[in-house]
Each structure stands twice: as C-alpha cells, then as structure tokens.
A and B are shown apart, each in its own frame.
Chain A
C-alpha cells in the first residue's frame, strides 16, 4: 500500500542548524497493516509522516501509495489518498467553522470543489449518525463552532474527518500526546475501532512504548532517520517494553538510548 524507498531529508542544509532528519529510510506497508511507530526525540517519526503526507519535498528517494508515485505531488493532491490526525488538537479542525461544515469539507477530500452547495441535508443525517458513534453528544451540536469543543472532542472529530471518506492510508501523528490520560485512552480506543471497522492501512506515531505494543499488528522503531526495528505478527504480540529496549540496545550499540527512548 505504502512504499517508502531510500528517502533522505535534511533540514537547514548548510547552516549551523543542519539536521539530518531522514537518512536512507525505507519502509513498505502491506494492505491493512496497522503500524505503530516509536523512536526517541529527533528519530524522524513525525518527519517520516510529514514526508509521506507531502508537507515538504524530500531530498532523495521515492514514495509510492497504492502503486502511484506521489514523490512530487503537492500536499493537497496527496490528501486524496491520506487521512491525517495531528498532535495538536487545534491543527486538524477549523475552529471558526461549524462541526457539520468541518465534516463537509472532509467528505470532499480529494474531490474538486465546485459551485454546488457545500453541505446537503442528506449529508447532515449521515454526520449525525457518525457523530453518535463517537459518544460525545456532538450529534446534537452540528452547527456549533468547533472552537467551542475540548481538545479531546476535537481530536475525535479530526479522526472522524480523516476517515469519513475512506483513505488509502491513515496517518496518526502522536494524536493523543496533547490529551489527558483518560481522554487519550478514549481517543486511542476510538482509533482502534475505526481502523478495524474500515480495515484501514494505518501508521500511528506514539511516544508511549506500551501503547505501541498494545495496538496494531506491526511495530517499527526509528533511530537516526531510518528503521532499526520492524516486528510483526506473532513476534509483535509477544513483545514487552524490556525486550524492545534490549533489542534496541543491540541494534544501536548503545545503552544510553534507554532514557532517550522512554522520554
């Protein structure tokens, strides 16, 4: 479904702030894979997701989605294939627009925007039904401005928006990191449910190793801008935090990584 081939990305090339973010990164996702992505600060987790989403152009390499080469496609055109939820709850929704208006924008992801009405009555019924599934009482507040919602509500809404039109690839970028533990758990459970129901190919970045082990069918660890650990299936089910750390120590040849990872 997704093929990342030998991708390189360096930020601020030629300055004192030069930062190699991705270095010979390769990763292939199969249809229906739910991959959790972990790694320390600066390992390139978010950079990888942003490279796939097309937020910036990459220096070298190739990215394919469902056999399509999207390497040179701008961000808004790649959106046809990709649903995204960001770390910042403010980033995925338009605060000054209503709940239904946000959903209507999401329903038209990947379509050309014409002079037809931006939202129809048949859609509204569907939105109400979908919002009911979130169990947050949003179904009765279709016209409320999204800016009035809490962070957790906004993340849940963003998740719904990302999947309202079934994407080929769902990218979750630490989407529970800014929420309090209880809300984070709720949003995470909702993510699981939506991914399973639609059998979505998903990449979820998290800084929580326990979450990474508990969710998805495959786990990938990044270090210095490339994949160093990639476990799937039965092997992943048997993973524990301790095992993962030992394994990482062997790959990276250092023990200082422990706290770097856990932080």
Chain B
C-alpha cells in the first residue's frame, strides 16, 4: 500500500477516464437527451476500435481511419434506430439486438477475438506508452495523452454545443423531452431518435478507436458492460455538477469529468487490493445506488408542496 504506486497510476487513470468521457458524452445524448437507454454501445465500443486498428494495419492514415470508425458507429446507431422506429421494437430490445449482431460483426472485422497494434510501428494519436515517454523526455509534451484527449473532448463538446443549439438539435431535445409536443409542432420524432442514436454511437465508436490505440489492441470483449461505465460517468457528472453547471456545454464537461472520477476511483480501489475482475460488480453497485437515490429522495424525503402555489396561474 504505497501511496507512490497510486500517484504513479493516476495520470493513466485520468487519460483513460478522459477517453471514456467521449463515450459517456455519447451515452448522455441517448440517456439524458433522448430518454433512451441504448445498449448498442456495448457492441459499438468494440466496433470503433476494431475498424480503426484493421484500417491502420492496412495502411490507412490516422484521420481517415478515425472517420471510418466514427462512420461505423453511425451505422450501428442507424441499425438500432431503424429497429426501434421503423420496426417498432422497444428501444432497449433494439439495442440488445444490434449489440448481439455486432459481436459477430466485430469478430469478422478483427478476424479473431483480438488484434494488437504495435506502437513502435504505427504513428498513434494516443498510447499508454506516451505517458512515460513524455516524462522521460523522449517525446514532445504535445503528444501527452491527457492533453491530446482533452483537446478531442473540447472539440466534441463545442461541436455538440453548437449542434444542440440549432433548429435540428432543438428538435432532437424536444423529441426526448416530450414527443407528443414535438410531433404537434411538426417534428419527425422517429427521425430525431434515429439521428440521436447515430450521433451517440458515432461518438462511442470514436472513443473506442482512441481506447484501442491507447491500449495497443482491440478485443471483442472490450465493450462488455461499457453502457454501465458510461451511465456511471453521466450520473457522477450529474450528481456532482448539476447545481454548478447549468450551461449545456458545461454539463457535457461535467460528464467527461465524471468519467475521470470513475477511473480515479477505479485506481484507488485497485490500489486498495481489489482485482480488475471485481470492478464490474462495483460499477454496477455504484450505478444502481446513484440511480436509486433520486427515487428514494422523491419517495421518502419529499417536502410537501403548497397547493396555493399551483393555483396562482
């Protein structure tokens, strides 16, 4: 139990948390804005990395490979969206179906259950290795993973802030907030749901591509349970920052910070002597508790509402 071991592990936790933050922002779009729990992401969380690694191994450049990973995520979201809206399948089940299908797709893309990429042979954007390289001085500070991913997150937050302020983005928010009202105001709610699911899965795939680089491999199981980690980040961000961050962009930043906090807690728990294998259980418990708290609050600790207040219309 050496505190130095923990401190040494922290930069890695922050970098990994930031990468997962992109995924969590994707989950935020479906879970918070569209009010859909989208389980597709467990599959997409591998698809993006698989596509990126295979394309890079076949000689494609960084930017097009990242764009292709993003595109693969869009397609996964499209599949779930069409299953949900066009085929009338409940959103959760539609997500599970796509997730299941993606397992086979991911195996096909990877040509096996996993695929490594050699950090020495390919110029990657982020890598676990770069953390030490920068400290040792063999690599420029500009390639420090935390910095690179932070810029990524900032760009994504700015783009989303712009998008959800546009007419189209507002119609998406209305779809999630009150679909009856949205349709009455001429908004095609089916289109909104499909678009939101696509956007969300695109971001998740992008996160997956970064994570695969960071770890140096893509594995068919790398996405298992990721929806819960994404939810954990969204909920931590919401609980800690909802009073502080009213602005939409800041809320997204809060979600990314939520993911970082999750990974710091993860490191601390490791340091305390638990195994990686226990983490899924701990994550599930954390998410369950945080989801239950607002419900308990409303049920057992609600303050009586003054009736007169409602009548003063």
Contact = CB atoms under 8 A, between A and B. Distances in A.
A182 B312 CA distance: 10
Interface stretch (A74-82, A207-215, A253-261): A74-82
Contact of B180 (A86, A101, A114, A183): A86
A85 to B, nearest CB: 9
B166 A118 contact: yes
Interface residues of B, number: 27
A76 B180 contact: no
Interface stretch (B56-64, B170-178, B198-206, B216-224): B170-178
Interface string B142-179: 00000000000000000000010111111101100110
A123 to B, nearest CB: 12
Contacts of A97: 170, 173-174, 177
B168 A115 contact: yes
A109 B184 CA distance: 8
B99 interface: no
Contacts, number: 108
A109 B186 CA distance: 5
B183 interface: yes
A145 to B, nearest CB: 10
Majority secondary structure of chain B interface residues (helix, strand, loop or mixed): helix
A76 B186 CA distance: 4
Nearest to A93: B181
Interface in A25-59: 53
Interface in B187-214: 187-189
A115 B166 contact: yes
A188 interface: no
A102 B178 CA distance: 11
B185 interface: yes
A162 B169 CA distance: 21
Contacts of A82: 184
B184 A152 contact: no
Contact of A179 (B166, B186, B313): B313
Contacts of A179: 313
Interface of B: 163, 165-171, 173-174, 177-178, 180-189, 309-313
Interface of A: 53, 74-77, 79-80, 82, 84, 86, 90-97, 101-102, 104-106, 108-111, 113-119, 136, 150-153, 156, 161-162, 179-180, 182-183, 186
- In the A-B complex, the 4 residue pairs with the smallest Cβ-Cβ separation, listed nearest first, are A152-B313, A79-B186, A118-B170, A94-B177
